[in-house]
Amino acid sequence: MPNTYDLEGRYALVIGGAKGIGKAIADLLVASGATVRIWDSNAADVEGASSEIVNITDSTAIRTALQRISAREAPDILVNNAGYLGSPREFVAHPGEDWQRIIEVNLLGTMRVTQAVLPRMLEAGRGRIINMGSLAGKEGLGTLAAYSAASAGIISFTKALSRELAGRGLFVNCVAPGPVDTDMIRSLGTTAVNAMIADSPMKRLGAASEVAQLVAWLCTDASRFNTGAVFDMSGGRARY
């Protein structure tokens, strides 16, 4: 039976929660008793959660959506999970508009949403921010230069922000999955997926539900000395 956690009375905002890892996180937070709201560029269907289509590359759209959340339901959990992979290609041939979108969604979207939500957390004196990065941000992946750079930025942003907020009741951590069995990874094609599996010491892809377990634990009071940390979810693939 899957683990659940005691998150009764907590209010969670999950960015990119319509499918894949984000949906698994939203499902588990709901099952653990949290009130969950999803922002995504696509319609979300997560039982027990409310959802809204929000463009996180637009600061005005973020502020407008946040104004629709009452002070009583202000998020004390923020999961920044929005991600755009793009198509693998050599950087010299990567169209500028595509790699700029990768940076806009993954890195700048994370920063914009966090900056908008943070004042409410600071006022409340508590909060958990979990930024979803990638193993690519630690190791760099050929033909995914922009995605790797965006993920590395998320890791550094997590560490820097955690230092600002340490001791103020706010904890900021990053989860950096390796290949997880999602539509985004499957879209790379069978050859690429098989190569990822072959490179894994566990000889499989991760499951979105496994990533969700770590995220949910980081939202609990059991995790009270972890901030600025980067947690690999790679089945042993990470090399440092």
Query: Is 6 within a domain?
Result: no
Q: Mean of the per-residue pLDDT values for the chain? A: 92
Domain of 188: which CATH number? 3.40.50.720
Q: Tens digits of per-residue pLDDT, 180-226?
A: 777 777 777 788 777 777 787 878 777 889 999 999 999 999 999 99
For the chain, first and last CA: distance in Å? 32
> What DSSP letter does each residue of 136-172 carry, written as one string?
HHHH--TT-HHHHHHHHHHHHHHHHHHHHHTTTTEEE
Query: Is 104 within a domain?
Result: yes
The yes-or-no verdict on residue 33 having pLDDT over 50 is yes
Which whole number is the average pLDDT over 71-89? 93
Query: Is 3 within a domain?
Result: no
Query: Is 105 within a domain?
Result: yes
Verdict on whether the full-model pTM lies above 0.75: yes
Question: What CA–CA distance (Å, rounded) separates 240 from 233?
Answer: 12
The answer to which of 69-73, 82-86, 199-203 has the lowest mean pLDDT is: 199-203
The pLDDT, as a whole number, for residue 196 is 75
Which phi and psi angles does 35 have, rounded to 5°? -85, 120
How many domains are there within the chain? 1
For 54, the enclosing helix (H) or strand (E) is none
Catalytic residue among 11, 84, 147, 240: 147
Query: Is 160 within a domain?
Result: yes
Q: Tens digits of per-residue pLDDT, 118-128?
A: 999 999 999 99
Sheet holding 230-233, edge to edge: 50-53, 35-40, 11-15, 77-80, 127-132, 170-177, 230-233
Q: pLDDT band at 70, cuts 50/70/90?
A: very high
The yes-or-no verdict on residue 18 having pLDDT over 80 is yes
Query: Is 4 within a domain?
Result: no
The yes-or-no verdict on residue 141 having pLDDT over 80 is yes
Which whole number is the average pLDDT over 16-38? 96
Query: Is 209 within a domain?
Result: yes
The pLDDT, as a whole number, for residue 1 is 45
* 147 counts as catalytic: yes
Question: What CA–CA distance (Å, rounded) separates 27 from 143?
Answer: 33
What is the residue range of 157's domain? 11-233
Categorise residue 185: left if φ over 0, alpha if ψ from -120 to 50, beta otherwise.
Answer: alpha
Which phi and psi angles does 38 have, rounded to 5°? -115, 135
The pLDDT, as a whole number, for residue 154 is 98
Question: What CA–CA distance (Å, rounded) separates 87 from 68?
Answer: 35
Query: Is 239 within a domain?
Result: no
The pLDDT, as a whole number, for residue 80 is 98
The yes-or-no verdict on residue 153 having pLDDT over 70 is yes
The yes-or-no verdict on residue 84 having pLDDT over 80 is yes
